[in-house]
Chains A and B, each alone.
Chain A
Amino acid sequence: MGRIDARRYLRRWESLLVLFLLVVLAYNITQVSNFLTAQNQANLFQLSIEKAIVALIMTFVIISGEIDLSVASMMALSAAVVARLNESRMEHVLAIVVALAVGLGLGALNGFFVANVGINSLAVTLAGYIGYRGLAQVFIEDNSVGGFPGWFTRLGQKGIIGPITFSIILFFIMAAVAGVILHYSGFGRRVYTVGSNARVAIFSGVPVARTRIIIFATSGLVSAIAGILYAARLGAVRSSTAQGFELDIITIVLLGGVSIFGGVGSMVGVLLSIFLVLNLRNGMTIAGITGNTQTGVIGLLLILSVLIPNLVSRAQGRFRRTPVEPQFQAPRPETVQSAG
């Protein structure tokens, strides 16, 4: 069931997000004493910056009609690679390069299985979700490995401009680049096309397989970057690093109005969603609400943001909904079945 006018749909969604954001900001500013301090604003970003960075590429993945469950495991793996190589006295910059290459390569491998072997991405990246963290375990077992060079941990922890860290600056640069690519470039156009209707894309000479591989490879690379930044911020790595991040990241992207069925979504929506989630978390943390409850509130927000428009439009009787939503990219090819 394609959304006939995606643009209008998104605009309505984004307005809703702005409204939510304003409410949260109003609450934070009035109720939280130190909310507007530069330090707090920097903290607000810094504490979830890795998730925010990965959410940028996850936007591409989901708009292209796929999903990548392996991002958090990839973060752990890249961090583990850096830690392991650092421990064995490899030049640290070189270790980072190796970790990035691992991310790019395994991301491309995900892409290969999705694009060239034709397996559902949920199944492929479920394997990656388990396997990549498994590889991290192979490298560092259940140890906590640190001992990074000073410049590396400083990069992750200390502000470059005032309290603003390298990660935050990198995030804003990447967000700008991602926005331009998604909305203004030919590649971005292809991402939407592949996500809307891969068959039409093939008939139109769009390099569908290549587009998918590039998206997944970039997803691996960006996750590796985020993992390395996370290692720099924490100063030590365990194989359980970033566990559970994938669901947070996907939640952020879906809350940003990106359709799980592909083809619909905007970078503005995702950025609004990131700001909303970060502010919500910050306000709640300062108000002493624990991490679990925060996740629950965001989960509730996610459900409501789909449910309310549904109920409203049903009340208006404008269209009937199908009783069973296809879960992932219908229609199903008959010749090959996806998972199992």
Chain B
Amino acid sequence: MTDRLLRHIRPEQFRELILLVVTIGALLFFWTQIPNYFDPRSINRLTVGLAIPLVVAIGQMMVVLTRNIDLSVSSTVGLTAYVVGTFLTRNEVSPWVAAVMAMLLGCALGAINGLLVAYGGVPAIITTLGTLAIYRVVLVEISGAKTVTTGDLPGWIGSLPSKTLVTVRDYDLRLMVAIALIVTIAGYLVLRFLPFGRRLYAIGSNPDAARMAGLPARRDVFCAFVICGGLAGLAGFMYLVRFGNITVTAAQGLELQVVAAVVVGGASILGGQGTIFGVLLGVMLIEILQQSLLRWSGLSEFVKDAILGLLILIAITVDAVVLGRLREAWVNTRRRDRAAARLVMEGGADGAD
């Protein structure tokens, strides 16, 4: 039975299936609990809430694939939001220019991480733990602890968050969500169809082999950090647009939320495994939980973090226990199939097994 199942579906796909079912289950559950849950308004709120963590998570995942981690993303988001915000209070530029500025700044910050990790040989967790603090300090120092406020920003900042591309029966596709979706699709394409993307999997999957195979591992790891920084920069721009008021604490704590989403989405902390679709589901599940518990009167919102913690624990345990077994079973099924095929090919011999 499992054999037959395993011939058609790989364990990784199975996990995504489970995650999808859980996500839909959560939606249905809250639908029965919260009035007007599938209202256009609620759905719009949910999708907009997804946008920023999703963009950061896509970048984070690229780094995690290479068996590294970037904890500095939250400071990058905060710093770019602040710097671009300050720039905008003094200069009138178009949204596009501002977004590109934010991404470039993010890339630069990511490049510092990438240099230290890929070329300086400093472990990623140490590097980004350091830059998490350092980028925040830069923010505090250049801001003199002052705040960017909506009032000082150009008018388009005020209208951008509610800017809607398509509306179907009051269900909006907001610009912010569209950006996040474009990033997600781009991430999917890069990881699936670019040699660079496949190399990221290779590097995390077996770093020694990557070196032996002559892959440009240093450069690729560096690039992964730059991309992660760039996307965090873009998220910084989105953050500025969405919240308008940027204080020195902007986006603090986002890093672990994003890592949690990536982990729940099935990317391995040890690199080499994970899909964009999984990350999307991971971000969605966490966001649904957070947003819904804030609005659910059946349970105090104060239990939401406890539930979130439990959820992560369940996700990783299911992964370790169930998927570990499945993967082993899958490998065995495959081998048995191959051996059987070979026996047939080689004329049967004395069917030993």
| A and B in direct contact, judged by CB atoms within 8 A | yes
- Measured in the bound complex, the distance between the Cα atoms of B144 and A316 in whole Å is 42
B254 within 8 Å of A (CB atoms): no
Whether A295 contacts B137 by the Cβ 8 Å rule is yes
A132 to B71: give the CA distance in the assembly, Å: 21
Q: B297-324, CB under 8 A of A: which get 1 and which 0?
A: 0001011111111101101110111011
Given A124-B313, A340-B264, A260-B304 contact (CB < 8 Å): no
Task: Return the chain B residue nearest A293 by Cβ.
Answer: B137
Separation of A135 and B313 alpha carbons in the complex (Å): 14
Nearest to B269 among chain A residues (CB) is: A339
> In the complex where A113-B313, A300-B130, A339-B270 touch, is A131 in contact with B306 (Cβ < 8 A)?
yes
Per-residue CB proximity of B148-166 to A under 8 Å, as 1/0? 0000000000000000000
Do A141 and B309 touch (CB < 8 A)? no
- Say yes or no: is B121 at the interface (Cβ < 8 Å to chain A): yes
Chain B interface main SS type: helix
Chain A positions within 8 Å of B, measured between CB atoms, are 69, 113, 117-120, 122-124, 126-135, 137-138, 141-142, 239, 247, 250-251, 254, 260-261, 290, 292-293, 295-300, 302-303, 306-307, 310-311, 314, 321-328, 330, 332, 335-340
The interface residues of chain B lying within 8 Å CB-to-CB of A310 are 120-122
A24 and B319 alpha carbons, distance in the complex (Å): 48
* CA gap between A42 and B339 in the complex, in Å: 72
User: Which residues of chain A have C-beta atoms less than 8 A from B211's C-beta?
Assistant: 322-324
- B129 adjacent to A324 (CB under 8 Å): no
Supplied contacts A130-B312, A323-B118, 6 more A-B pairs, CB within 8 Å: A127-B316, A132-B309, A295-B136, A311-B120, A324-B67, A327-B69
Interface residues of B (CB under 8 A from A): 15, 66-69, 71, 116-118, 120-127, 129-134, 136-138, 140-141, 145, 203, 207-208, 210-211, 217-218, 221, 248, 256, 259-260, 263-271, 273-274, 278, 300, 302-310, 312-313, 315-317, 319-321, 323-324, 327-328
Cα separation A323 to B68 with both chains bound (whole Å) = 12
B116 in contact with A324 (CB, 8 Å): no
Query: Shortest distance in angstroms between B209's beta carbon and chain A's nearest beta carbon?
Result: 11
Tell whether A302 pairs with B126 under 8 Å between CB atoms, given A293-B140, A327-B270.
Answer: yes
Whole-angstrom distance between the Cβ of B218 and the nearest chain A Cβ: 4
- Nearest Cβ in chain A — how far from B302, in angstroms? 4
A332 and B117 CA atoms in complex are apart in Å by 20
Closest Cβ neighbor of B67 among chain A residues: A327
Contact of B273 among A126, A134, A251, A340 (CB under 8 A): A340
Question: Given the complex, which residues of A lie within 8 Å of B137, measured CB to CB?
Answer: 292-293, 295-297, 299
Give A322 to B313 CA distance when docked, in angstroms. Answer: 33
List A contacts of B319 (CB < 8 A): 337, 339-340
The one of B117, B140, B203 in contact with A292, judged by C-beta atoms closer than 8 angstroms, is B140
